[in-house]
Structure formats: C-alpha cells, structure tokens
Amino acid sequence: MEHHRHRPGRTGLSLAILVTAVLVAASPPGFAADPPRRGPSTPRPKVPEFAEMLWSILKDGADMGPDSGWFHPSQSRYDWGWLAARFDRDRDGAVSADELKGSARLFRALDRDGDGSVTREDLDWSPRSRYLQARAQARGRFAQMDRNGNGRVTLAEWDKAFERAAKGKTFLTQDDIAALLYPSPSPPRATTNGGKPAGPEGPSRLTLLKGLFTGEIGSCSEGPGLGKEAPAFTLETHDKSKRISLADYRGKKPVVLIFGSFT
C-alpha cells in the first residue's frame, strides 16, 4: 500500500489564498486601487495592515514601493504639529533658534536643510519629502562612483567618473554634468515571448502569499499603536547566558525595541 505524507495546513492555505484572491478581485470598497479623494480634514479609513499587505502582493507582487502594504512611514507623537504648537511663537510656520531655545547641536539636527529655521519640511520623512528624494538621487550617483563599495569616493574614483562623463574631453559641459547627476532612465524591462513585460526580480506572488499566510513575512496580528503599552515578553540573550524581560525596565529607563531580519 502506498502512503502519502500529509502536509498540515496546505489545503487550508491554498483555499484561503483562493478565497482571498476572489474577494480582492471583486474590488470591495476597502481595496479600491484608486480610492476616492478625501478632504484635508477627512480621516483616512483604517485598513488592517494584513489586508494592505495582501492587496499589495496581489496588485504589485515583489515590485512594491515604500508605501506598499505595511511599509508606512514611522509614527511619532513629536511631529511638526507638536513642535510648532510649543515653539513657533509668531506662528509664521518656522521655528527659529531663538524660539527653540535649545542647544546649537539640537537645532542643527532639526534644521536638516540648513536654512536657519525648522519647518514642516525638515520633519517630513515620507516619500513625498523633497529632501529625501534628492538624497535618494545622490545615493544612486554615489553608488556609481564608489566602485569598491566602501562608502567613500576617492580622488581616483572621482577622476573615473569625470572621464566617463567627459567622453574623451578635458572638460565638462552643462549637459555632461546633467548626464552625470541625472542619467537617462533605465531601458524598458525585457519582454516575454508573448510581448508582455517580464516580471520583476524577486519572489513570485504565490511565494509571497504563502509567506504572508504562514507568518514568515509578517503577522496577521498588528502590534500596539502609537502611545499604547507594549506587550510583556521575555527573551533569551544571543549568547543564551540570561533571559531579559521588558517588565524589568518598565518605569526605569527608555527602551528601544528593534525586531528585524538581518541576513
């Protein structure tokens, strides 16, 4: 008699993926690709993070951006609204060094564009930030020059970049500088035999869905919200010499918890 090993949960997982895909394909209101525009005072409807990630996987696959799924900007109680309410005394939309009355080091850290005042833009860390967009472009150009990837551009590497941009000349024109700093977009993605663009590099939608439903790339249970109390837990140290409980530090000192995958 031939026996087959039963794989627990496989049938249930496949059924869950199939049912969810059908529901999302029906475009219920919470999953609209282009949701109705909201006014500035209209709060954003709360969508479970698990549902957001599911929709992003089905819609984009591995080709996800910084606002996809649960990859949202961090939240803080100490945002521009908090700062302006306490220190922007003349209500001009900017906090000067005199208004802040803190250390010069603190003011320089907050005034990230160095224009002499702290504004809403200085505290914007979302993908819409012009500062972050410019930094992203700078990182791309820097990576092209930093050939050995050591985080530094030497004079020799800079000279190589100059030679590539000059194309045999001993000088650079305005167009050469533009091409160096803002190169042309990458060529279109390769197509399949059917003429459709080939899929992005990375895991398939099915692999991502399996990881989502099995908890390998997230959890269906959201963590505590901003201002909420962290759940109690006890963990073993990396060298297994002792166990640490969060409760041991409650009320004694600030604690930063970082849970990530470092591979």
Write down the pLDDT at residue 36: 44
Instruction: Tell how far CA 136 is from the center of its chain.
Output: 12
In eight-state DSSP terms, residue 202 is S
Cβ(161)–Cβ(180) under 8 Å? yes
Q: pLDDT tens across 111-154, in order?
A: 998 999 999 999 988 878 888 888 888 888 888 888 888 889 99
Which tokens sit at 248?
């041991």
Say what the alpha-carbon torsion angle 222, 223, 229, 235 is, to the nearest 10 degrees.
140
Amino acid in position 70: W
234 forms beta bridges with: 245
Instruction: Give pTM, 2 decimals.
Output: 0.55
191 forms beta bridges with: 197
197 forms beta bridges with: 191
Q: pLDDT tens across 38-78, in order?
A: 444 455 667 888 888 899 899 888 888 777 777 777 778 88
Say what the alpha-carbon torsion angle 57, 61, 63, 64 is, to the nearest 10 degrees.
0
Q: pLDDT tens across 214-247, in order?
A: 888 877 777 788 888 888 889 898 889 999 899 8
Q: In angstroms, how far is the first alpha carbon of the chain from the final one? A: 44
Write down the pLDDT at residue 155: 95
Instruction: Tell how far CA 225 is from the center of its chain.
Output: 18
235, containing H or E segment: strand 234-236
